[in-house]
Amino acid sequence: MLPRFFAPDIVGVDLDVVLPPDEGRHLAHVLRLRAGAEIAVFDGRGHEFRARVVSIGRAGVVVRTVERSAGAPEPQIALTLAVAVLKANRLDQVVRDATMLGVAAIQPLVTARTNVPAAALRRKAATERWRRIAIASAKQCGRAVVPLIHPAADLTDFVRTLHPAPNLSEARLILVEPSAAKRGTRLLTELGTDGRPAAATMLIGPEGGWTGDEIRIAEASGFQPVTLGPRTLRADAVPVVAVTVLRVAWNAW
């Protein structure tokens, strides 16, 4: 497998492009590649190319695209993962793993039980860090698409950005803890019987779970409570498990 690099300015074949500075440093100083080396480059929007290193200098690393190639295929369902920010930078791991699992977008959420200062989460630096993690994960797993990483938002503000009610091709899910499951709350594994939606949004809460008010706010916007079952999992493990279960239930890899 060729070394892969993120190059968002690619526009076609047989054209020169300068790699972003951090990508250029990785190519030249970590991998120690030289002019003439063959690599793969992708733009984060689904386009990937085989390329060749043209030059390495103070102006940056210049590569030339040689031919189009195929990245890993994207899942049939565009899944937005709206997940509460976790303490101790554990959302970093969630972003990394969710990217590998093919999510289309990640929306960090500030909730009533979020244990991280909201002001710090809304700074551009936080979003940029998560985006860098998503790019690195896409490089590693072979994706040519980098998921959209949105700035952190309050749960209420996020659901207000959605249409008042989901359309027939959209699924809205809020994952609740076993203790919050009511009669009629469905298991994620049961959703395969509903048919495959074109898009889905899944809300996942913080270490302390959702408050009753937050669940009611989500339900009022068309989110269906679902659960993984009777066990309470670690908050940083839940998103990976939940996305995987959904992919299997919908057969949408």
Measuring CA to CA, which residue among 153, 168, 151 is closest to residue 222? Answer: 168
Looking at residue 129, its pLDDT comes to 95
Residues of the chain with pLDDT under 50: none
Looking at residue 154, its pLDDT comes to 94
Going by C-beta distance under 8 Å and a sequence separation of 6 or more, which residues neighbour residue 217? 155, 156, 159
Domain with CATH 3.40.1280.10 in the chain: 78-250
For 157-193, give one letter per residue: b (16+ CB within 10 A) or e. Answer: ebbeebeeebeeebbbbbbbbeebbeeeeeebeebee
Could you tell me the pTM of the whole model?
Answer: 0.92
Angle value at C-alpha 114, between 108 and 119, nearest 5 degrees: 70
In this structure, are residues 221 and 100 in contact, taking their beta carbons and an 8 Å threshold? no
Looking at residue 153, its pLDDT comes to 93
Q: Classify 40 as helix, strand or coil.
A: strand
DSSP assignments along 217-244, one per residue: HHHHTTPEEEE--S----TTTHHHHHHH
What is the distance between the alpha carbons of residues 20 and 135, in angstroms, rounded to a whole number? 12
Question: Which superfamily, per CATH, for 4-69?
Answer: Hypothetical PUA domain-like; domain 1 (2.40.240.20)
- The phi and psi torsions of 56 (rounded to 5 degrees) equal -130, 115
Longest alpha-carbon distance in the chain: 65
Q: What is the pLDDT of residues 178-188, one digit of tens each?
A: 888 888 899 99
- 51 strand-pairing partners: 39, 65
Q: Which tokens belong to 234?
A: 């670690």
What is the distance between the alpha carbons of residues 151 and 164, in angstroms, rounded to a whole number? 22
Looking at residue 192, its pLDDT comes to 86
DSSP assignments along 188-207, one per residue: GGGGGGG---SEEEEEE--T
Of the options 2.40.50.180, 3.10.20.30, 3.40.1280.10, 1.10.150.20, the CATH number for the domain spanning 78-250 = 3.40.1280.10
